[in-house]
């Protein structure tokens, strides 16, 4: 009872904050001293509760739109709560492990996930993630913010892309056969067989996705899906679930580095992990009833706005 009573209020708060962000974006003027003030008035208790609501909303929207909750955690923490981007990265990594493992458990059971393909490509993403986490030490935080903004814009644009039909009769990949990557998945019309193409190209793109994941603390699901859909020509449903299956391992590879570096703050992880998980769970229950199309547009526009704000703050050196 308590939770349902409290939530609408908080969502309004978050929405208002988003409006504030776009306001300051339009005027291109967000005085940092002015923005920093709420922090000094807030206690840890209220900070935690508001963050919990924010993370719940992020998890809910992320799961409903398929964009993942992790993408908005970093802008939420840095732009709204004025958390240092390094703490934000550590927190977002942990949140993406939680959501990925939570939903992967369902997909693996349904047999849609291509476990061999996921395992093979995890070599690429984990090596990339370790490299990314290493680069992160030497990279100035404002450059990280700018790269993050660009990846964020790319991710939101990706969600508008049409799902392609896989063209038949393409050149067969010998490597895919040797690695036993070709597989099948259950649909309403029975089992569908598919073949994997362009293995080296996909592997290369996955390494890049891994680097981004390690550097920015995100699952970089959009990049993974791009590698599997556009390059390896895998059916959409298989690529999204397999990408989701891989996100946890990729994030874990860089999370162990970040944990030792002190980027992972329990006071932030607690509300974010619990909020995002609860939101994602609620989203999966709502999914069949909600009209997702306009929601996805709204969420993508919000993400685009946040991304521009991150880039702007990165260029002006505020992050």
Residues binding another protein (CB under 8 A): 36, 39-40, 42-45, 47-48, 77, 81-84, 86-87, 94, 97-98, 100-102, 104-106, 108-109, 111, 115-116, 119-120, 122-123, 126-127, 129-130, 133-134, 137, 179-180, 248-249, 251-257, 259-271, 273-274, 277
Query: Are residues 255 and 248 in contact, defined by beta-carbon separation less than 8 angstroms?
Result: no
Helix (H) or strand (E) segment spanning residue 67: none
Residue 305, C-beta contacts closer than 8 angstroms, at least 6 positions apart: 18, 21, 22, 25
Minimum distance of another protein from residue 108's CB (angstroms): 4
218: left (phi over 0), alpha (psi -120 to 50) or beta: beta
266: left (phi over 0), alpha (psi -120 to 50) or beta: alpha
Closest CA to 146 of 78, 87, 59, 236: 78
Minimum distance of another protein from residue 164's CB (angstroms): 28
Closest CA to 80 of 153, 145, 13: 13
11 or 84, CB closer to another protein? 84
Minimum distance of another protein from residue 167's CB (angstroms): 29
Minimum distance of another protein from residue 206's CB (angstroms): 12
156 or 279, CB closer to another protein? 279
47 or 194, CB closer to another protein? 47
Minimum distance of another protein from residue 205's CB (angstroms): 18
Give the ranges where 28-84 is alpha helix by DSSP (H). 32-41, 44-65, 70-75
Distance CA 219, CA 249 (A): 10
Residue 104 tokens, joined: 């992967």
First to last CA, the chain: 39
259 or 298, CB closer to another protein? 259
94 or 153, CB closer to another protein? 94
Minimum distance of another protein from residue 293's CB (angstroms): 30
275 or 296, CB closer to another protein? 275
Minimum distance of another protein from residue 304's CB (angstroms): 26
Give the ranges where the chain is alpha helix by DSSP (H). 2-27, 32-41, 44-65, 70-75, 85-110, 115-138, 141-158, 174-178, 199-216, 221-226, 236-260, 266-286, 292-315
Minimum distance of another protein from residue 126's CB (angstroms): 4
Distance CA 258, CA 136 (A): 10
Closest CA to 181 of 110, 107, 123: 123
Minimum distance of another protein from residue 116's CB (angstroms): 6
276 or 311, CB closer to another protein? 276
36 or 187, CB closer to another protein? 36
175 or 301, CB closer to another protein? 175
């Amino acid at each position: 009872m308590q939770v349902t009573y409290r939530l609408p209020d908080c969502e309004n708060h978050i929405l208002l904050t988003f409006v504030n962000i776009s306001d300051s974006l339009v005027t291109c003027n967000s005085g940092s001293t002015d923005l920093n003030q709420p922090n000094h008035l807030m206690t840890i208790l209220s900070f935690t509760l508001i963050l919990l609501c924010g993370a719940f909303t992020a998890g809910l929207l992320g799961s409903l739109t398929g964009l993942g909750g992790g993408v908005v955690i970093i802008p939420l923490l840095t732009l709204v709560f004025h958390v240092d981007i390094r703490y934000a990265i550590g927190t977002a990594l942990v949140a993406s492990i939680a959501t990925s493992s939570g939903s992967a458990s369902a997909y693996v059971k349904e047999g849609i996930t291509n476990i061999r393909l996921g395992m093979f490509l995890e070599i690429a993403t984990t090596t990339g993630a370790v490299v990314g986490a290493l680069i992160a030490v030497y990279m100035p935080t404002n450059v990280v913010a700018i790269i993050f903004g660009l990846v964020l814009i790319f991710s939101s644009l990706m969600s508008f892309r049409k799902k392609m039909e896989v063209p038949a009769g393409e050149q067969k990949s010998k490597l895919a056969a040797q690695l036993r990557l070709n597989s099948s998945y259950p649909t309403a019309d029975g089992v569908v067989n598919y073949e994997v193409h362009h293995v080296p190209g996909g592997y290369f793109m996955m390494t890049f996705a891994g680097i981004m994941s390690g550097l920015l603390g995100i699952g970089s699901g959009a990049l993974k899906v791009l590698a599997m859909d556009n390059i390896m020509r895998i059916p959409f449903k298989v690529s999204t679930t397999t990408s989701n299956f891989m996100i946890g391992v990729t994030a874990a590879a860089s999370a162990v580095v970040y944990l030792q570096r002190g980027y992972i703050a329990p006071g932030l992880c607690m509300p974010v992990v619990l909020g995002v998980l609860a939101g994602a769970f609620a989203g999966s229950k709502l999914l069949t009833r909600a009209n997702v199309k306009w929601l996805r547009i709204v969420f993508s526009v919000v993400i685009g706005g946040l991304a521009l704000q991150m880039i702007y703050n990165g260029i002006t050196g505020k992050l």
